Structure 1
Amino acid sequence: MKTNYITIMMKHFEQMHVEVAAAAETVLDASSLKDKDAVYDCHRFLFVKSGTGKLFAQNKEIPLEKGKLFIMLAGMPHRIVLEAGETATLQWCHFRSSYEDRDLYRTLQIPYYIQVEDEAAISGIFVRVFEESARNGLTSKLKIKAAMLELISYYLDSLSLIDNDAPTDELQKIDMVLKYIDEHLGDNITVENMAKQVYLHPNYFIVFFKGILGYSPIQYVNLRRMEIAKNLLLQPNSNVSSVAGQVGMQIYYFSRMFKAHTGLTPSRFRKQAAFIAASSEAESTDREEGN
């Protein structure tokens, strides 16, 4: 299932919208904490900059220690506990990032925390979010989104999601559909046929698929056709007509969609790719001769 995990993540990031609701650095002590669970309607990143304590979530007790980065998903009850005399400095942000009523983070069974190796780098990302949130300049939202994507990427890079031995039922269904699509790109793929693979009603299947991939099923099929077509057009003996047939499209429709997708006609794409390849080969030869 490794390939389709990567596919799901890539498509998610292509469509991802991140909105930071609040962010700050807070120093906690036992007297400042409430003896009850907190529940938020957004996700929370919590980075332990210093100090020790405990975090309770999902009937688990997790040590709150310097260098740990937590993600508390929306609606997840959790509570921080410090003993008398203990303090902890947390950098945190509340953010939203989901598709409709589905949540990729839960679907992928992401763990609640990681141990950060480069603490200064992670702390620096939080500081950038704090500064841009306070500045509220013309490009502040773009910079905040870039920082949040960097933080999310760091978190996911630290995990072994693609080695998950127990994928959720949703991911197993998506895996079956993605395999079906790749095996039938040259055929007439319909929503009804895709929905049959996982025994779902077509109307529900559309919502289910878009909730995880961020595209409607037909949008994804066409995007996948364009990705495969680009690879095929790079082959020396390929031609536009045969490539169109291999991805199940009439040549006129294929050419029009390919240009909309890449900004180039298929023929122009092939010529440009061949030119770049020849230029790279020439530069490599020149370097070797220069040595």
Structure 2
Amino acid sequence: MTTNYLTIMMKHFEHMNIDVAAAAETVLNTSTVKERGEVYDCNRFLFIKDGTGILYMQDKEIPLVKGMLCVLLSGVSHRIAVEQDEEITLLWCHFRSSYEDRDLYKTLKMPSNILLVDEQGTVALFERLFEQLAQDNLTSRLRIKATMLELISNYLDSLPTGAQEGAPTEDLQKIDMVLHYIDEHLADNITVENLAKQVYLHPNYFIVFFKGILGYSPIQYVNQRRMETAKGLLLKPECNISTVASRVGMQIYYFSRMFKAHTGLTPSRYRKQATTFASASQTSGGEGKKN
């Protein structure tokens, strides 16, 4: 999976709403599994806590093993089979998510199942989800969403390179080209017209197209990438503030003003604090080794 596809996925999850309808731990055996496929009007996470089985989904037979996370989209028929005298323990949740009426998961063609790197951490996240769903206080919904985003992060952290199922869609190819263009021309004057030309779209349509996938207008995204790049450059001693401003295509006064609006700190203050923190971390690490 390319960096730009991950960027699209991250931006999508940052902005989408997540509504968890239910979650629980279930033990299945030959007497409790269903013979026919089930279809849900919500998305499902299935995590294999223990045991083995087979997931039948569309035309696929997916062997289920301990540590596997399955992502089942709404409307997809599926069923689980278990061998005689065997059982499988599932941690699951049912959720709905939306953003701009686009299903980015389908667009990105992400794998429907993957072995997670952090198996124990995932179990802990599901247990936290169960706990929060059983409560009804002011912060429960926020904590539920935070837990779901951690589950999704575990999924993304476990994805190998080239993990898409099939070739990327035409829309994704267009966005990929635009994001590459932006990263290669941060020092230049980037306009909506420039970006729209890269994918042969009218500027007005391109703005809607871009925001529908990334969640930002094109210029908002360009400025965000400039600030992210600037933060990295400010950590390099050889780059003074004037050089950093030039590398991200901005006049120094405008750059300083935007950087402070983005981080709450001036570029010089940000560099000083980051350097101080790095020095303190190295000193702490060094003392730890001596001990």
Q: Give the TM-score of the pair, scaled to structure 2.
A: 0.80
Which amino acid letter does the alignment assign opposite residue 2 of structure 2?
A: K
Residue 262 of structure 2 corresponds to which residue in structure 1? 261
Q: Which amino acid is 1:69 matched to?
A: L
Alignment partner, residue 71 of structure 2: 71
Deviation at 1:177, TM superposition (A): 0.7
Check whether the contact 2:29–2:85 (CA below 8 A) recurs between aligned residues: yes
Q: What SS does the aligned partner of 1:232 have?
A: helix
Residues in 2 aligned to 1:280 and 1:157: alpha-carbon distance in whole angstroms: 25
Question: Structure 1: any 5+ residue segments left out of the alignment?
Answer: none
Task: State how far apart, in whole Å, the 2-side matches of 1:24 and 1:81 are.
Answer: 19
Q: Secondary structure at the match of 1:152?
A: helix
Give yes or no for the alignment of 1:151 onto 2:158: no
Aligned residues between the structures: 289
Deviation at 1:230, TM superposition (A): 2.2
Letter in 2 for 1:175: D
Match for 1:24: what amino acid?
A
Deviation at 1:198, TM superposition (A): 1.6
2:204 is aligned to 203
Per the normalisation by structure 1, the TM-score is 0.80
Q: Check the 8 A contact 1:49/1:67 in 2, yes or no.
A: yes
Q: In structure 2, list runs of 5 or more residues that go unmatched.
A: none
What amino acid does structure 1 have at the position aligned with 2:195? M
CA distance in 2, matches of 1:257, 1:117: 38
Cα distance in 1 for partners of 2:131, 2:165 equals 40
2:135 maps to: 135
Deviation (angstroms), 1:241: 3.6
In structure 2, distance between residues paired with 1:248 and 1:69: 43
Kindly provide the CA deviation profile for residues 93-133 of structure 1, in whole angstroms up to 9, marking residues without a partner as x. Answer: 01234431223322332222224576554333222211210
When structure 1 is superposed on structure 2, of 180-189 and 47-56 the one drifting more is: 47-56
Distance 1:140 1:2, change over 3 A: same
Change in 2 beyond 3 A, CA 1:215/1:79: same
What is the alpha-carbon distance in structure 1 between the residues aligned to residue 206 and residue 177 of structure 2?
A: 13
RMSD: 3.5
Which deviates the most, 188-197 or 248-257?
A: 248-257
Q: Secondary structure at the match of 1:206?
A: helix
Q: Within 2, Cα distance between the matches of 1:271 and 1:226?
A: 17
Measured at CA, do residues 186 and 113 of structure 1 come closer, stay the same or move farther in structure 2, by a change above 3 Å? same
